[in-house]
Amino acid sequence: MIFQLHLKRLAERHQMIRFSCLTLLLLVQICILPYAHSQNANNAGKEEAETCVAPNGSPGHCLVYTECANLALWRRQHNLQNSEDVKKMLCSNDEIHVCCNHTNPYLTDTDYLTQLNPDGLALLQAVRCTLPLTDRVANGKNTILGQYPFMALLRYDVPGRPFLCGGSLITSWFVLTAGHCITPTLIGVRLGEYKLSTEIDCVSGTLCLPEAENFLIAQKFKHPNYNKPMWTHDVALLKLDREVKFKIHIKPICLPISPLVFDYKNLPKYYYVAGWGHTQNTNSSDILQHAKIPHQDRNICERIFAPHGIGITYDHICAGGKDRVDTCKGDSGGPLFAPAPFKKMNGITFNRQVQFGIVSFGFIGCGDNNTKEAAYANVFEYMPWITNILALET
């Protein structure tokens, strides 16, 4: 019995030493090596790997640590300091598999958070942005009253056509829109609108929203590298003349500032677009429209727009092209958005409406039988610029 007990203790000690050595090796890999393996190997390993949940609550794949693309980045994102912290990453009984973050095809730089202005990021983190409610867009449908309180109408000094672009409220001072919407005739922003022809928007005569509110523009910020002929860097910010008071019909949309968003395994297969834009055969819609459109591989838009001399890059998201649903003239500058995991508290993940793109350009004749995919400015790529502007101007 004493001999058996001694063997058992030796086995336990051996197991402890083995675990400590493997954990130490993993900790060294995380803290010292910037890349443990090539990205191609990482992607290949993910094809057969089991899914798991990372220490920060984001989805990942259970991989041998040498196949995790960037262990040094993990150390920074998850504040891994010692062997106890490293244990949180383990996802198998062999102590060498870790729950490795998914890479994000929208990003050229995997070290995302460090690229953002910390003061601008803090302002966005303090915003209580919009919860998803449910599941002018050509062939779209009327929205529910107050469904998208972040939608903005851009007001122009143009007789008979005051609203030529859209946008999205992102803080109590700023509206995000497209660079090509910034013109000398742009004079204001309307928030909280639903039906253009009525001052008070109601359904069934009893359920009503407060009146829409008009703002002047204190400053216009067009991306310094905006290039209309090439349709790149098509993003802009508008600082309003006074602070917005959030109400039931006026609230900001979330931007992709959470690890749960940019590490999200299933980046949206479908997005939503909304606006009052023109349809194929009519003037602008009287009621806010919305529609669901599919995400498309970037190379699809590359093939479509290359013959027209327009290059599709990481600046763009490609979406749409099905069921005659499209964004049209007047929807420019509006958000491309989807419900996505945004916050995790006490083990519960909360979704928010997150803006992934900005309506940028497509083909004339939107919403007809030959509807094609359209290009949207990729908000991920512009978050460093956006947070810089917020930090400087607030």
* Cβ partners under 8 Å of residue 185, min gap 6: 156, 157, 158
Asked if residue 159 and residue 62 are part of one domain, the reply reads no
The answer on pLDDT for 76 being more than 60 is no
In a domain, 235, yes or no: yes
Contact 326/374 with Cβ under 8 angstroms?
Answer: yes
Asked if residue 118 and residue 75 are part of one domain, the reply reads no
In a domain, 108, yes or no: no
User: What is the C-alpha separation between 217 and 189, in angstroms, rounded?
Assistant: 7
Q: For position 260, what pLDDT does the model report?
A: 73
The residues annotated as belonging to the active site are 180, 234, 332
The answer on pLDDT for 289 being more than 60 is yes
Q: Which of 101, 121, 142 is the last residue of a domain?
A: 101
In a domain, 329, yes or no: yes
Q: What is the DSSP string of 244-280?
A: ---BTTB-PPB-S-SHHHHT-TT--SEEEEEE--B-S
Asked if residue 359 and residue 277 are part of one domain, the reply reads yes
Asked if residue 338 and residue 290 are part of one domain, the reply reads yes
List the CATH number of the domain containing 289.
Answer: 2.40.10.10
User: What is the C-alpha separation between 278 and 165, in angstroms, rounded?
Assistant: 11
Task: Find the domain containing 212 and state its range.
Answer: 113-393
User: What is the C-alpha separation between 95 and 277, in angstroms, rounded?
Assistant: 55
Q: For position 322, what pLDDT does the model report?
A: 63
Asked if residue 142 and residue 82 are part of one domain, the reply reads no
Q: For position 361, what pLDDT does the model report?
A: 87
In the chain, the number of structural domains is: 2
In a domain, 168, yes or no: yes
Q: Which of 58, 78, 101 is the last residue of a domain?
A: 101
Confidence grade of residue 331 (pLDDT, cut at 50, 70, 90): confident
Residue of 224, 226, 227, 231 lying closest to 311 (CA atoms)? 231
Q: For position 115, what pLDDT does the model report?
A: 82
Whole-structure pTM value: 0.72
Q: Which of 78, 101, 124 is the last residue of a domain?
A: 101
Asked if residue 119 and residue 87 are part of one domain, the reply reads no
In a domain, 238, yes or no: yes
Tell me the two tokens of residue 148.
């998208």
Asked if residue 333 and residue 259 are part of one domain, the reply reads yes
Residue-wise pLDDT tens digits, 96-129: 788 776 555 565 554 577 788 999 999 999 999 9
